[in-house]
Structure 1
C-alpha cells in the first residue's frame, strides 16, 4: 500500500515570464523547492521532465544525491518522479535512456541508505493500456540489465507507472484504460493495490477548448473513482494545472474554485509561473491550503444519464472551439515561435522534437446522442496540416494579441446550450463548471478588441466577438461596455507596441533582426509578469 502521497508536485514547465532556468540550475532549483519553509518552498515532489526537453542524463542523480546531502530522504519524505518520453511520440531510445538514468540513480543512492529514491515514473500522452504494459516490460528489461551489470537487487516491479491522460477522448474513457491496465498488470503477476494517475489540463484545452477540458477532467475523476471499487485499488489523482485559466487557474485567489471544480484530487502541480511570477507570500499560503484540503478531498459521482449530458456539452463546446481554432491557428503557430524560451526544450519543428496532435472530434461524436451535434463534429475538417505549438506558447501567444483563449468557443457554446435546453439547462451546465465566471472575469482584463481585429481574419474575428459578447451577456462582464475605448494601462500599451514590432519582423520573414527580437521578447515577458504567468 502506498503511503505518504505528495500533495504538491513541483514541475519544470517553461511557463514563467520572469525566470529563465537553464538545465545547469534545475538541480539547485529542485532542492530549494523541496526544502522546508523558510529555506525552501516545502513542496513534496519534483517531476523531472525528460519529455520534449533537453534534460541531461545525470540530472536525476544530481537531484536525488543533493536532496540526501541536504538532509531529506527521497522516496520517503520527498519524492522524485521523472516524466519520461513517450516512445510513440519521440523514440524508444530516449525513453530507455531515461530509465537507465533512473536506474543509475537508484544504484548510486545505495551508498547513503537502503530506501529506493525513485519509485514511480510518469508516462505522458497515454492512449491505451497496452501502451502502458509495453513500457512496464521495457522497465523490466532495464532492471535485468542493472541486475547483471551493477549487481542491483532483483526487482520485477522496480518502478510504478503514473499514466498521464492528456486528450479529451481518453479522459472520457479513463475507466476503460485503468481497468485494462490494472487487470493486465495482475495477469503478468505484478502486484497492484494503488494507482496514481495524472490528468492533463493544458493539452486537452489546446486541442478541444477550455470548457471541454474542464468537463472531461470532471468525468475522468468520477469514472476513475468508480472503477477503483471493483478493482479493489486506491487511486490518487494528480492535477497538472498552470496559473492562467486556460491551463487550470491554479492560484491562491482561485484555489477554492479549483478544489470545487475537480473534487477528489490528491496532488496538484506547482508550475514555474506560480513559483516565479507570483508573490512568495501568496504561494506559501496556497501550499498551506493544499496541505489542509487535498488529503480529505472526496470524489463526485455522476449517473449514466449525467455522463451522457456531459458528453453532449463536450460535443457542443468542442465544435464551437474548433470552428474558430482552425481560423486562427496558422497565425498563432507562427507567433508562438517568437515566445520567450524559458527552459531548454526540444524545438517544435525539428528532427528530435514533436508537436501536439490535432483534435479528433469524431471520437467525441461517438459518445454524443444528439444527431445534430454528432453530425457537426463529424463534418469538421481535421486534415489540415500544421505543427501545433505547445499549450504554454499557444496560451502566451493569444494573450499577447488580446485574445485570452478561455473565451474561444465558450460564448457560442453557452448560447447553444441556452437555445437547446433553456435557462434550466444553462444552470445545469454551470453547476458542472462552477468556476467559469471567475475564469472569464480574470481573463477579461486582457481582452483587446482592436488588436484582435488587427491580427486575425474577418471570419475568425466574427467567431471571437460572438464568443466574447455572449460571455459578457451571461456573466455581466464589463469588457463589452468599453470595447471601442483604447485602453491606456501599461499592459495594453505593451501589447500594442509588441504587435507593431511583430508585424515588422514578419515582413522580414525571419529572425535576422536580433535587436527587434530581443525587444519583442522583453515586452512579452513583461506582459506575462503582469498577468502572473507567461502562458
Structure 2
C-alpha cells in the first residue's frame, strides 16, 4: 500500500479566506502551479488533483513545477514519491467540453518526457493516473483506458509517410498505459459499484484499482444521511468484491469541510477517520488548507498520512438502510424543489475562489433533479447556510418515522450523525425562516416548504440537539444572515455579497 497516497490536495473552491500568496481573490493560472508545490512541500500532501473539469488548466504544470522548484523535486520524485493526478471532464456528461478529455490525456506523455529529462531516468512516469467523474458504467472506464492506450500512446506506431512512423519524428510515447480511477457520484452507480468494477476488471485486468467515492454531490442530490449511507454501502461492496476477485482496492473519499460535504477539517480528523476507517485516501480541500492555522493544517495532514487504514468497512443490513435512504431522499428532494428559487437567487452573491466556468448552458452541465437546476455543491451549501437553513437538517423529520430497528441501523452505521448535526444546527436561524415567509415574493418560496423545514428543525431538537446559535460566532452568523435577507429585499447587492463572505469566514468555509 505504500505506493498509494493517503492525502490528495484538491482545487475545490471552498476556502473563505484568500491565501496570502494568491495574486487575486480568484486562484488561477500560475498561482495554481505554486499552490501544487505548496501542497507537497508545505502541507505534506502526497498527491495533488489537477482538475480539468469545468475550469481552465495549465497543461505545462509538470515543466513549471520541475523548473521553478528543482531542489524540492530532485529529492521528491514526481510519479514515485509524490503524485499529480488528472481529473478529466466526462465526455458523456460534459459534452461542451468533451474535447478537453483528449487534451488532458495528451499531457501525460509530455510529462513523461519532461520527467525523463529532469531525472535522467527512463522509468519515471511523471503522470499516469486519471480520475473520471460521474462514472456510471464500466464502458466509460474501458473507453478511457483504451483511448489513451490506442490513440494517445498508440499513434506512435502510425506510419504517416512510407517507412516513417510518428515515433521516428516525435519520439516514443510513454507510458503505454494509464490507471483510470472511477469517481462514483450518483445513487444508482454507488449501489451498482460491483457491476462497474467487474466490467472494468474483466476487460483490463488492472494490478490494483483506486475507487473514488463522492460525498458532496450525493449530499446535494439526496441529503446528508443518504449520502453517508450510500458512501458506506459503496465502500463495503467495493472492498468485498476486491477480495473475491483478488484485486487490491484502495478507496478514495471526497470530503469537504462542512458536515454536509464530509466534515473533514483539521479539528475533526479523528472523527472522519473513525467514520470511514477503510478509506485509503482523503481529499484535503482548499478550506482545510487556507481557513485554519497553518501549523494545525500541517499536523492534521501528517495524522492522515501516518494512519493505517482498515481493510473492511462493515455494513449491517443493507436492505434496512436502503429503506431509510428511499424515504429520506423523497422528503429531502421535495424540500429542495421548494427552496430552489431562493437558492438560485442567493447563489449569485457567493464569493468566487476559482476561475471555474459556468456549469449551465453551453459551458457545461448543471446539477439538479426533478427538472430543477441548481448551482454546484459548494455554492449550494453556502447559500443555504447563509439563509439560516443548514442543509444538514433538511429531511431530518424522517428520523421520527423510522422504526426502532431502522434507527438503530442508522445510528450504528452513521456513527458521527449526532456530532455532525450538532455542528450544523447552531447555524439555524429561526427569524430567517419568518423573514423568508414574509418576503415570499422576493424569494419565490411557499409557506408549505418553510413548514417542512420547521418540522426538520423540531425533529433535530427532539433528538436533544439545540437548533440555533450557541456561541458568539454563531450568534454573529445569525445576525449576518438576517442582514443578508434584508439586503436582498432592499436590492443592496454589494451588501449582500459582503455579508456572504463574512458568514463564510465565520464557518471557515464557503460551503
Q: Same fold (TM over 0.5)?
A: yes
Give the drift of 1:57.
3.0
The answer for unaligned runs of 5 or more in structure 2 is: 19-24, 158-165, 437-444
Partner of 2:53: 51
Show the counterpart of 1:97.
103
Could you tell me how far apart the structure 2 residues matched to 1:216 and 1:451 are? Answer: 32
Report the alpha carbon displacement of residue 64 of structure 1 after superposing the two structures with TM: 5.4
1:328 maps to 2:314: no
In 1, Cα distance between equivalents of 2:482 and 2:37:
40
1:414 is the counterpart of 2:414: no
Distance 2:473 2:509 in 1: 21
The one of 446, 462, 473 aligned to 2:451: 462
CA distance in 2, matches of 1:28, 1:283: 18
Cα shift at 1:103: 2.6
Distance in 1 between residues matched to 2:132 and 2:483, nearest whole Å: 41
Q: Deviations over 1:191-213 (max 9, x none)?
A: x1200111100000111111110
Q: 1:154: Cα distance to partner?
A: 5.6
Give the alignment of 1:348-359 within 5 angstroms. 348-358=359-369
Equivalent residue in structure 1 for 2:465, among 471, 477, 490 = 477
Instruction: Describe the SS at the equivalent of 2:51.
Output: coil
2:453 paired with 1:439: no
Match status 1:285 vs 2:299: yes
2:155 is matched with 145
What residue number does 2:141 align with? 132
When structure 1 is superposed on structure 2, of 65-74 and 134-143 the one drifting more is 65-74
Quote the offset at 1:518 in angstroms: 4.0
**1:14-63: CA deviation from partner (whole Å, max 9, x where unpaired):** 0011123223300001101201xxxx111111001100112233335434
Report the Cα distance in structure 2 between the residues aligned to 1:432 and 1:298, rounded to whole angstroms: 17
2 CA distance for matches of 1:103 and 1:44?
21
Contact 2:431–2:482, Cα closer than 8 Å, also in 1? no
Q: Does 2:21 align with 1:41?
A: no
Q: Deviations over 1:474-530 (max 9, x none)?
A: 1x12226x99xx99932222222222222333xxxxxxxxxx544432321221111
Residue 258 (structure 1) shift: 1.4
Summarize deviations over 1:90-125 as a string: whole Å, max 9, x none.
233111111112332222222112311112011101
Residues 182 and 472 (structure 1 numbering): CA distance in 2 closer, same or farther, change over 3 Å? same
- Is the Cα contact below 8 Å between 1:218 and 1:261 reproduced in 2? no
User: Could you tell me how far 1:255 is from its partner in structure 2?
Assistant: 2.1
2:473 and 2:112 map into 1 onto residues whose CA distance is: 56
1:85 is the counterpart of 2:89: yes
Give 2:411's aligned residue: 430
2:311 is equivalent to residue 301 of structure 1: no
* Counterpart contact for 1:143–1:155, Cα < 8 Å: yes
1:500 pairs with one of 486, 494, 500:
486
Query: Number of matched residues?
Result: 477
Task: State how far apart, in whole Å, the 2-side matches of 1:7 and 1:48 are.
Answer: 17
State the SS of the aligned residue for 1:317: helix
User: Unpaired runs of 5+ in structure 1?
Assistant: 187-191, 359-381, 506-515
Residue of 18, 23, 38 corresponding to 1:32: 38
Residue 298 of structure 1 deviates from its aligned partner by 3.2
Preserved CA contact (<8 Å) 1:33 1:43: yes
Inter-partner Cα distance in structure 1 for 2:455 and 2:473: 21
Would the alpha carbon gap of residues 493 and 58 (structure 1) be closer, same or farther in structure 2, given more than 3 Å must change? same
Q: Deviations over 1:299-324 (max 9, x none)?
A: 12346xx1111111111211121121
Corresponding residue for 2:432?
451
1:70 to 69, 72, 75: 72
Q: Partners in 2 of 1:413 and 1:230 — Cα distance?
A: 36
C-alpha distance in 2, partners of 1:107/1:300?
A: 40
**Cα RMSD after superposing both structures:** 2.1
Could you say if the C-alpha distance between residues 497 and 76 of structure 1 is closer, same or farther in structure 2, counting changes exceeding 3 Å? same
Return the alpha-carbon distance in structure 2 between the equivalents of residues 178 and 488 of structure 1.
44
- 8 Å Cα contact 1:103/1:146 also seen in 2: no
Residue 112 (structure 1) aligned to one of 106, 118, 121: 118
Q: CA deviation at 1:155?
A: 4.6
Residue 18, structure 1, aligned to residue 17, structure 2: yes
Structure 1 residue 230 corresponds to structure 2 residue 236: no
Tell me whether 1:179 sits opposite 2:188 in the alignment.
no
Matched with 1:342 is 353
Q: Aligned with 1:164: secondary structure?
A: strand
* 3-state SS of paired residue (1:479): coil
Task: Quote the residue 2:503 is aligned against.
Answer: 527
Distance in 2, Cα, partners of 1:285 & 1:311? 38
Q: Partners of 2:378 and 2:65 in 1: how far apart?
A: 25
**Are residues 87 and 60 of structure 1, via their aligned partners in 2, closer, same or farther at CA, if it must alter by over 3 Å?**
farther
Equivalent in the alignment of 2:228: 214
Once the two structures are superposed, what CA deviation does each residue of 1:424-480 show, in whole Å capped at 9, x if it has no partner? 432222111111111111111211011123234211111111111111111x12226
Q: Which stretches of structure 1, 4 residues or more, deviate above 3 A after TM superposition?
A: 63-69, 153-156, 486-489, 516-519
Matched, 1:246 2:260: yes
User: TM-score normalised to the size of structure 1?
Assistant: 0.85
Question: What secondary structure is seen at the aligned counterpart in 2 of 1:316?
Answer: helix
Please say if 1:169 is aligned against 2:150.
Answer: no
Query: For each residue in 1:362-383, what CA deviation from the matched residue of structure 2 results, as whole angstroms up to 9, or x when unmatched?
Result: xxxxxxxxxxxxxxxxxxxx2x
Alignment match, 1:361: none
Higher deviation after alignment, 462-471 or 14-23: 14-23
